[in-house]
Amino acid sequence: MKWATILLAVAVAMAVESAGRAANPADINKDGIVDPLDLAVLAGDWLAEEASSPADINTDGSVDMFDLALLCQNWRWIAPDPCELAFIPGGTFEMGDSFNEGLASERPVHTVTLGSFYIGRYTVTNQQYRDYLDSALAQGLVTITSGIVYKAASGTSYPYCDTSTSSSYSQIAYSDGVFTVRTKGGRSMTDDPMVRVTWYGAAAYCNWRSEQEGREPCYNLSTWECDFGKRGYRLPTEAQWEYAARGGLSGKRFPWGDTITHSQANYYSSSSYSYDTSPTRGFHPTWKSGAEPYTSPVGSFSPNGYDLHDMAGNVWEWCNDWYLSTYYSSGPHTNPTGPPTGSSRMLRGGTWRGDASVCRVAYRNYNEPSYRHYSYGLRLVLAP
């Protein structure tokens, strides 16, 4: 009876852990990683012609070289943490401003088809980025000059982020070789989104997270090119971001519908827009305390249909794409990754200091990749 109870508990725990993530058929023994244990199962069933064999990865009724090829293709695949990442099923959606009320660059509305992917349920927090900075400093990957964190051996060409020494808006302090997260008005900023981070600093963080989990880094930190064939963390494409932000809804202004209030997002409410129906105006009354930035802890508001938090307001989120105002007219309609070159990178999602119009899911913002701002943050994407 005791062992039956233990086994039942383990089964329930495994079911909970598997919820919200897509299974990889190459993970034959379902332990969350494609490794030699899966190869052993495949070898044991080699040339078996049983439709029920878990080693029949491509489900063609036989365990053969085609299944071995799929196993090799997925070698060292690691299951994402379902508490941190949401699985977004591939599909087709209408991208852009269907209300014809935004910028010209938000149009034309066009059909985009995407493959499946994982995306962070939350933006990266101050604590998470602080952990990266301590690790990077210990490895000699970054240097600090006048309070600004730079890529090591790059002079001042590639800034990653500010500390409180270079900007009072930064919630990361640096002293005597150690980074810490600050408090503001007596409140720890540990769980608030990282701000004053550049696109370069966001890409470097993605690579570090990949390496910490034994995944393939996607970014070449010399050329800053992203290898979409790698299966590590990276920034979302602009199309992935909007698809995820819409949460399965079609033709809506916001991740939940067509109006916005302070009960749904951290933003600057104004009577300038009919769709801003918040009974409170100005900065969010809960989070306007102490000095700016008036960010809120990640996950402070209800998620959208894909269980993603803060897809409107709080902080702008860097995307991988270069910006081109006419890209919607000239870009591909299947898995678009943005123009090949440019001078500015995309930002999406609105901010604690922005009005309702910039919190629309179709709104396109952009800036130079080296720019640091107290409303710029990041969210991660992972290939399935």
- 176 located within any domain: yes
Is residue 287 in some structural domain?
A: no
- Of 73, 89, 111, the residue that ends a domain is 73
pLDDT tens string 49-79: 766 889 898 888 888 888 888 888 777 777 7
Q: How confident is the model at residue 4 (pLDDT cuts 50, 70, 90)?
A: very low
pLDDT at 7 over 80: no
Give me the CATH number covering residue 15.
1.10.1330
> In the predicted model, is pLDDT for residue 38 greater than 90?
no
Q: pLDDT-derived band of residue 121, with 50, 70 and 90 as boundaries?
A: very high
Verify cis geometry, omega within 30 degrees of 0, for the bond prior to 236: no
Rounded percentage of the chain residues whose pLDDT exceeds 90? 78
Quick check: 267 pLDDT over 50? yes
Q: Are residues 131 and 65 in the same domain?
A: no
Distance of alpha carbon 377 from alpha carbon 238, whole angstroms: 15
pLDDT score of 42: 75
Confidence at residue 111, expressed as pLDDT on a 0 to 100 scale: 98
Range from 11-25, 48-62, 366-380 carrying the lowest mean pLDDT: 11-25
Per-residue pLDDT at 22: 62
Let me know if residue 326 belongs to a domain: no
| pLDDT level of residue 1 (50, 70, 90 thresholds) | very low
Q: Is pLDDT above 90 for 17?
A: no
177: number of Cβ within 10 Å? 9
Stretch 87-93: mean pLDDT: 98
Mean pLDDT calculated for residue range 251-259: 98
pLDDT above 50: residue 256: yes
State pLDDT tens for residues 272-304: 999 999 999 999 999 999 899 999 999 999 999
Is the pLDDT at 239 greater than 50? The verdict is yes
179 located within any domain: yes
Does a structural domain hold residue 140?
A: yes
Could you tell me if residue 232 is inside a domain?
no
Three-state SS annotation for the chain: CHHHHHHHHHHHHHHHHHCCCCCCCCCCCCCCECCHHHHHHHHHCCCCCCCCCCCCCCCCCCCCHHHHHHHHHCCCCECCCCCCEEEECCEEEEECCCCCCCCHHHCCCEEEEECCEEEECCCCEHHHHHHHHHHHHHCCCEEEECCEEEECCCCCCCEEEECCCCCCCCCEEEECCEEEECEECCEECCCCECCCECHHHHHHHHHHHHHHCCCCCCECCCCCCECCCCCCEECCCHHHHHHHHHCCCCCCCCCCCCCECCCCCCCCECCCCCCECCCCCECCCCCCCCCCCCCCCCCCCCCCCCCCCCCCCCCEEEEEEECCCCHHHHCCCECCCCCCCCCCEEEECCCCCCCHHHHCCCCCEEECCCCCCCCEECCCEECC
In a domain, 183, yes or no: yes
Tally the domains of the chain. 2
37 or 310, greater pLDDT: 310
Please provide the average confidence, as pLDDT, over all residues in the chain. Answer: 92
Last residue within a domain, chosen from 202, 219, 239: 202
* Angle, in degrees to the nearest 10, between helices 126-138 and 199-212: 80
4-13, 244-253, 303-312, 367-376: range with lowest mean pLDDT: 4-13
Residue 241 and residue 351: Cα distance in Å, rounded?
Answer: 15
Least confident of 15-24, 182-191, 270-279, 323-332: 15-24
Residue 94 lies in a domain: no
- Chosen domain end from 178, 202, 226: 202
Which structural domain, as residue segments, surrounds residue 45?
A: 2-73
